[in-house]
Amino acid sequence: MSHILILGGDGYLGWPTAMYFSKRGYDVTVVDNYFRRNACTELDVGMLYPVPTLIERAKNWYEHTGKEIKVVIGDLTNPEIMRSLFKGDFEYSWAINNNFSGIPNTVIHYAEQPSAPYSLINYQYANITITNNLLVTNNLIFALRDFSRDTHVVHVGTMGEYGTPNIDIEEGWLEIEHKSRKDRFLFPRQASSLYHTTKIMDTDLMWFGVRMWDLRITDLMQGPVYGLETEDSVIDERLRTIFNYDEIFGTILNRFIVQAIVAYPLTVYGKGGQTRGYLNINDTLQCVHKAAETHAKKGQLRIFNQIMETFSANELAEKVQDIGRKLGYQVKIDHLENPRKEAEEHYYNPTYQGLIEIGVKPHYLTDEILEGMFRVVEKYKDNIRRDVIFKGIKW
């Protein structure tokens, strides 16, 4: 049975990924230090509903499916903890069978501070973001160098690494002709937050590991993700993923749905022409799975742009307004002074064929999908806190 190690297995994407692989017969180990939950508590951001601990989730999954997801609670910025996961000299925080599952065939790396606003609250949060994200990635590439160069890493990067250039965005690599000679380089990258900058640095660290030690790495440049229901969370609502709608950890579409439900005018930042590539959380699961199944070659940094369609902030707001009104909500759209420093009107033409070519079948943002999101979020309407929706963390 193929062993998958998921770093950051408690997060918005990590836990649904663990169930997705477990259901498909993989031997799954998840590692997490509860960074996201602790940050949510510390910053008092509110969450749509309380989420059981990782150990409780794994037990619940086992009760429903008879499948074991092994849990390790630990901080991967500590190199010894990262290394122990390859050597086997650690103890599971929860498992049915405590024997080491062996060196992982695939590592899925989500163990990062994922929020742009968090990284710009002040210099301390900037430091936490830089320290966490870069140390985890560096610890990982050294563990691979020392214990298992054949293990394939699937890292979730971000489309924000490219920024919004005035040329088409390729999937990671760009052919350059300069003074009549040709070479291939990582696409020029210019992030617009410190968080996004750490993801550029992650890519650079991993590219170094690939060049020096022939590692196998797939870097998925993902856009903002929306949604909360996956094929496995319908079994039991306690298996649902963490869902944030606050300014720090909530992503735009998830926030707009919540705002519509409590009649909070939709918070479009600035002119609203900011265009990004979006995807449904179910497509993240498919993409990571297909990337793991097809794996990068030895000495290859394989890059895919993980988005399914592009929208401006205005287009998303209008879609949510239309569906919200159909469902009987009074939905207004507001244009707030943009707390971020970003282009509000720009060219945006990314390529995103690679994942489709390896078999991903996109779920597009249809009216039914939006209505489904309203239906789930509505159930938790009484938990929604208006005070966390917008605080105005400035760049």
User: Cβ-count burial of 185 within 10 angstroms (0-12 exposed, 13-18 middle, 19+ buried)?
Assistant: exposed
Return the DSSP state at 94: B
Q: How far is the CB of 271 from ligand USQ (least distance, A)?
A: 10
Cβ proximity to ligand USQ: between 70 and 196 the closer is: 196
Cβ proximity to ligand USQ: between 207 and 245 the closer is: 245
| Distance of alpha carbon 255 from alpha carbon 352, whole angstroms | 25
Q: Please answer whether residues 94 and 10 qualify as being in contact, where contact means their C-beta atoms are separated by less than 8 angstroms.
A: no
| Distance of alpha carbon 295 from alpha carbon 29, whole angstroms | 19
Cβ proximity to ligand USQ: between 29 and 306 the closer is: 306
Q: How far is the CB of 181 from ligand USQ (least distance, A)?
A: 32
Of 218-277, which residues contact ligand USQ (CB under 6 A)?
222-224, 251-252, 255, 267-269, 274, 276
| Distance of alpha carbon 286 from alpha carbon 190, whole angstroms | 28
Of 152-191, which residues contact ligand USQ (CB under 6 A)?
158-160
Of 304-333, which residues contact ligand USQ (CB under 6 A)?
313
User: Cβ-count burial of 279 within 10 angstroms (0-12 exposed, 13-18 middle, 19+ buried)?
Assistant: buried
| Distance of alpha carbon 220 from alpha carbon 302, whole angstroms | 8
Q: Which of 213, 192, 214, 217 is nearest to 202 (CA)?
A: 217
- What DSSP letter does each residue of 168-230 carry, written as one string? PBPSSEEEEEETTEEEEEEPP---SSHHHHHHHHHHHHHHHHHHHH--EEEEEEE--EE----
Catalytic residue among 70, 199, 290, 319: 199
Of 93-122, which residues contact ligand USQ (CB under 6 A)?
114-116
Tell which one of 170, 315, 318, 342 touches ligand USQ (CB under 6 A).
342
Q: Is the alpha carbon torsion for 358, 243, 120, 130 positive or negative?
A: negative
Tell which one of 83, 145, 149, 340 touches ligand USQ (CB under 6 A).
340
Catalytic residue among 20, 195, 264, 278: 195
Number of residues that bind ligand USQ (CB under 6 A): 21
Cβ proximity to ligand USQ: between 196 and 295 the closer is: 196
| Annotation marks residue 391 as catalytic | no
| Annotation marks residue 110 as catalytic | no
12 contacts ligand USQ (rule: CB under 6 A): no
**Residues lying near ligand USQ in the complex (CB under 6 A):** 114-116, 158-160, 196, 222-224, 251-252, 255, 267-269, 274, 276, 313, 340, 342
Positions annotated as catalytic residues are 158, 195, 199
